[in-house]
Structure 1
Amino acid sequence: MENLEEIRYIKRTQKDYSMSLKLEIVNEIETGKVTISESTKKYGIQSRKTVVEWLRKFGNFDWDNQTPLNMSKSPEQKIMELEAQVKLLEKQKAFLEQQAFVADKKAIIFDMMIDIAEQEYKIDIRKNLPPEQSTNLKKKNNKQ
């Protein structure tokens, strides 16, 4: 009998609880499979408050307004959320367009720098040799 009691209840610390365990417990409570008290006994959690905190953090219940988060919203609320989302996307688009503009300018400047270096030092910087030519050059360099 003593072994069963030791196996059933193991004193744990906060560090022992993985995120998957927390989410599993929250899901079981929200679906009605177990109560908070049953889950504390089942998983060896010392305090009911710990489970309640997980429900507040990871659950589908809005504790401030005392309503489920998946409750339907009014058309006005949906419109306001969509307008906020549109504004955010417009800001992101403007930022990305600015980054693309700067990247294009940098590419132009780098091309100009290469052109100037080619003229100044009379070398082909952009020269791309076909594979067979590059191996021939290596052979010549090895012979010398």
Structure 2
Amino acid sequence: MEHAREQRVKRTQRDYSFAFKMMVVHEVEKVQITYKQAQAKYGIQGRSTVLVWLRKHGQQDWTSNMPTSSKRQLTPQQRIRQLEKQLAAEKLKTEFIQDVIYHIDKECGTDLGKKYTEHVSKIGKAKED
């Protein structure tokens, strides 16, 4: 039985407590150290472990730092397709909202549709000015 225990391979992955993760995230976000320095300082094994913690538990918006396809130069045709997709998505959202408002008005006997339309038209006029 003891012989079987000796041959077992040790697990290399470590589990870190939530408090430890938050301490590392706090230290990196306060620009005391970089995430790579934190890995070395605390002996964190994974290359992207600290980055994952920063995205999950950090206060900074990491989406703006991520490379996106919109940063590269698009051809006019690609830009048109991109804008058409955005427009279609917005139309779908608007249609969904209007359907929800219609059903709320029907079920509750309210007049949200009229109020919503007035509100949207005011916003549209303000943007034009």
TM-score category (smaller protein): 0.3 to 0.5
Q: TM-score, normalised by structure 1?
A: 0.35
Q: Greater Rg, structure 1 or structure 2? A: 1
